[in-house]
Amino acid sequence: MALAKILIVDDDPAIRNLIQRFLSKQKYQVESAEDGKTALAIFEQFNPDLVILDVNLPDAIGYNLCEEMQKRTKVFVLMLTSRADEADKIRGFSTGADDYLTKPFGLGELEVRVGAILKRQRTVTAPEKQRLSFEQLLIDPERREVTLNNQLIPLTALEFDLLRFLASHPGRVWRRAELLQEVWDYDYVGDQRVVDVHIGQIRKKIEIDATQPILIQTVRGVGYKFEAPNRLP
């Protein structure tokens, strides 16, 4: 099996070199860039599976670079930044980021995050290939596509996994910690509201009114559940 390819984009040479050395020892193919222009040039040639992307670059805004890379290959993106505000996280996720790691960070946590993101490349098992259909909403795990009213809905890899997981268990209520374990596939050490951010992004794309959701409902004090249309009163 080919080694996963990772591109690191950060203008801080100490951080960039530290991550590159660390991930190379984990048997990944790793390239790095210090600015947006260099990153895009390497991106085209290297075709990475994952980009670890700093928000603040000397010649580019990481959010815009994330969006540009997503348009080209739907690459996985892990945002790496000193910004911890929820608004910054929402902006990152809305441009296609799959995860968000705030500086300073531990290399152990970085390793877990990288491994969890790359697991989404795995081949789905036979039971997971079953398409989920709810009136006009169709979820196709094999093609990793979601259509609503015959229109393709653009979801990030993590948004797709979260929606598919909830829709696979209609009516069941899941706590945020449970969703983090099941979908993110690791014990998330940050703010559990990261789940809320992703739920909000999905709702904007599949709900008629994201402020009055019908499909993905909030259960106050607990978490979330997917309510299939044919189960609604």
Give the pLDDT confidence of 65-99 residue by residue, as tens digits. 998 898 888 788 999 888 767 777 777 777 778 88
Q: CA–CA distance from 52 to each of 7, 28, 61, 113, 209 (Å)?
A: 6, 13, 14, 11, 33
Q: Provide mean pLDDT across the span 216-232.
A: 85
Q: Report pLDDT for 233.
A: 43
Mean local confidence (pLDDT), 51-56: 93
What was the pLDDT predicted at 1?
A: 54
pLDDT at position 155, please?
86
**Burial (Cβ within 10 Å: 0-12, 13-18, ≥19) of residue 46:** middle
Helix (H) or strand (E) holding 15: helix 13-25
Q: What pLDDT is stored for residue 84 in this prediction?
A: 67
Q: Which CATH architecture has domain 5-121?
A: 3-Layer(aba) Sandwich (3.40)
pLDDT computed for residue 122 by the predictor = 55
Q: What is the pLDDT of residue 137?
A: 92
pLDDT reported for residue 92: 77
Which residue did the predictor score with more confidence, 233 or 92? 92
For the segment 13-38, the average pLDDT, to the nearest whole number, is: 95
| pLDDT for 45 beyond 60 | yes
Check if CATH label 3.10.20.30 holds for domain 127-231: no
- Determine what percent of the chain is predicted with pLDDT higher than 90: 51
pLDDT > 50? residue 232: no
pLDDT at position 121, please? 65
Write the pLDDT tens digit of every residue in 105-163.
899 989 988 988 888 765 555 556 688 998 889 999 888 899 999 999 988 878 898 99
Please give the DSSP secondary-structure letter assigned to residue 56: B
Residue 204's CB is within 10 A of a number of other CB atoms, namely 12
Domain boundaries, the chain: 5-121, 127-231
Residue where the block lists tokens 């009136």:
135
Phi first, then psi: what are they for 225, rounded to 5°?
-145, 155
| Weakest mean pLDDT among 19-28, 97-106, 168-177 | 97-106
Q: How many residues can be counted in the chain?
A: 233
pLDDT given for residue 41 in this prediction:
96
Specify the pTM: 0.73
Question: How remote is the C-alpha of 154 from its chain's centroid?
Answer: 12
**96 with 77: CB under 8 angstroms?**
yes
